[in-house]
Amino acid sequence: PKTERTFIAVKPDGVQRGLVGDIIARFEKRGYKLVALKMEQATEEHLKKHYADLSAKPFFAGLVKFMSSGPLVAMVWEGLDVVKQGRAMLGETNPLNSKPGSIRGDYSIDMGRNICHGSDSVESAKKEIQLWFKDSEVSNYQRANDCWVYE
């Protein structure tokens, strides 16, 4: 359970707005462990795979275009319940429904500029991590302070 992993991305708007450090800091301070990170300008082809479940939606083309419009920061975070907790830390899909204290609730207004992505289930996290990272790009390491994060 402590080794559950989730895929978190700072979208191109979050990168442009200088929010990468803040978003990383929130996961670090919570106690989660960073196991993979890269900056990448993803292709539309890649993003169509990432958002395949949404391909029938009217906003799909615009979403893929926006997500490919600049570099994003892709990450894998590890820890207890990190998929669900990560979603809670991001806030709701619509920033207007996101509570202050969440990333979207603190930094965004518009659904199409909600600055971050997080896997919505353990299953989709597995798929997304495989889509964005090679096995060799994900680090396995022990953190010396884990005994101060987990009982």
> Applying CB under 5 A, which residues contact Mg ion?
120
What residues contact residue 122 under an 8 Å CB cut-off, 6+ apart?
A: 4, 83
Q: What are phi and psi of 144, to 5 degrees?
A: -65, -25
Instruction: Decide which of Mg ion, ligand DAT, none touches 63; Cβ closer than 5 to 8 Å per partner kind.
Output: ligand DAT
Residue 11 in marked binding region: yes
CA max distance for the chain? 47
Confirm whether residue 26 is marked as ligand binding. no
Give 59's contacts (C-beta < 8 A, 6+ positions apart). 112
Positions in 18-77 near ligand DAT (CB under 6 A): 54, 59, 63
Alpha carbon of residue 137 to chain centroid: 16
Catalytic residues, which ones?
A: 117
60 labeled part of a ligand binding site: no
Binding to ligand DAT by residue 114, rule CB under 6 A? Answer: yes
Judged by CB under 6 A, does residue 103 bind ligand DAT? no
Residue stretches of the annotated binding site for ATP: 11, 59, 87, 93, 104, 114
Residue stretches of the annotated binding site: 11, 59, 87, 93, 104, 114
